[in-house]
Amino acid sequence: MSIRKKILICDDEEGVRESLKLILEDDYDLAFASTGIEVIDNLKKEPIDLIMLDIKMPKMNGLETLRELKNVSPKTKVVIVSGYRSVEAANEAIKSGASDYMVKPFDTDQILKTLNKILQ
Interacting residues with other proteins (CB under 8 A): 13-16, 18-20, 22-23, 55-59, 61, 63, 82-84, 86, 88-89, 92, 103-106, 108
Q: Of 24 and 50, which has the nearer Cβ to other proteins? A: 24
- Considering the complex, what minimum distance in angstroms separates the CB of residue 71 from other proteins? 19
Which of these, 64, 69, 95, 93, lies nearest to 79 by C-alpha position? 93
Q: Of 2 and 104, which has the nearer Cβ to other proteins? A: 104
- Considering the complex, what minimum distance in angstroms separates the CB of residue 109 from other proteins? 10
Q: Of 44 and 83, which has the nearer Cβ to other proteins? A: 83
